Amino acid sequence: MKKLTTLKIKSHKLQREKHSLQMLTCYDFQTAQMLEQTGIDMLLVGDSLGNVMLGYETTVPVSLEEMKIFSAAVKRGAPNKFIVADLPFGSYSTLEQGIESATKLFQYSNVESIKLEGAFPYQLELIERLTQIGIPVMGHIGLTPQSVHELGGYYVHGKDDASAKKLLEQAINLEKAGVFAVVLECVKSEIATAITEKLSIPTIGIGAGNKTDGQVLVINDLLKEGPHTPPKFCTPIANLFDLKKDLITNYLNKNQEVAKANVQPSVH
């Protein structure tokens, strides 16, 4: 399967009934090696690595240096996949800082694109500038985890007319600014559908219904690699946490049995 490009990703808009874009998060070299051998379209090195890999309560503490290290590792493991890396919180608070941070992350990791959250005027200008200098950008609206404290928590967006109108305006503005695709996270399905129909670029949903042009999930949720229940919109296809725990427990028990069997009786 040939690696996707931004042009090929955009063309999927016209092929949604035949092929829905599939995207999973990936944070490490070996998982990237495995995904390299699958038909997955895109990999996202999300700042969600702060939660699932580093144990942070939110994505806010994730640094640019951490994103550079993890993104480069994933790229080394899956050189033939289209990889998107998140710009972390605090790395694009101003236009100038955003250009510098995106350039460092893009150049160091060798990924195909960066992603940033929000659609405020300075962020739209940042997207325009980045695309002008050759850095493809994926947009992200709805629930933006980096702003969880300002938003007041995790919840579905677009439930009322004002929120729905704002989301549609943001999506249109992001497309005008130059993003090649936009993530819709925890957006009411009817609004996600309306946005998908309005835009000429693909929408990638996560907790936004099944009418978007593609879907993205955290791979650790999909495989249930942690002890906690994944979000409602993700139905795990395995329970690797319990499976690995049982395998390790069996290994330890067998080793203990072998050790007991090898104990020589004491001579009196």
Helix (H, G, I), strand (E, B) or coil at 99: helix
117 assigned binding-site residue: yes
CA-CA distances (angstroms) from residue 122 to 115, 127, 163?
A: 15, 9, 20
**48 is annotated as contributing to ligand binding:** yes
* Among 100, 150, 169, 185, the one annotated catalytic: 185
Contact between 218 and 207 under an 8 Å Cβ cutoff? The reply is no
Annotated ligand binding at 163? The verdict is no
**For this structure, is 150 an active site residue?**
no
86 is in an annotated binding site: yes
How many angstroms separate the CA atoms of 75 and 32, rounded? 8
Cα-to-chain-centroid distance, residue 70: 13
* 115 annotated ligand-binding residue: yes
Give the integer Cα–Cα distance in Å for 199 and 186.
18
Please give the radius of gyration of the chain, using alpha carbons only, rounded to the nearest integer: 21
The catalytic residue positions are 185
Please give the annotated binding residues for Mg(2+), written as ranges: 47, 86, 117
Please give the annotated binding residues for 3-methyl-2-oxobutanoate, written as ranges: 47-48, 86, 115
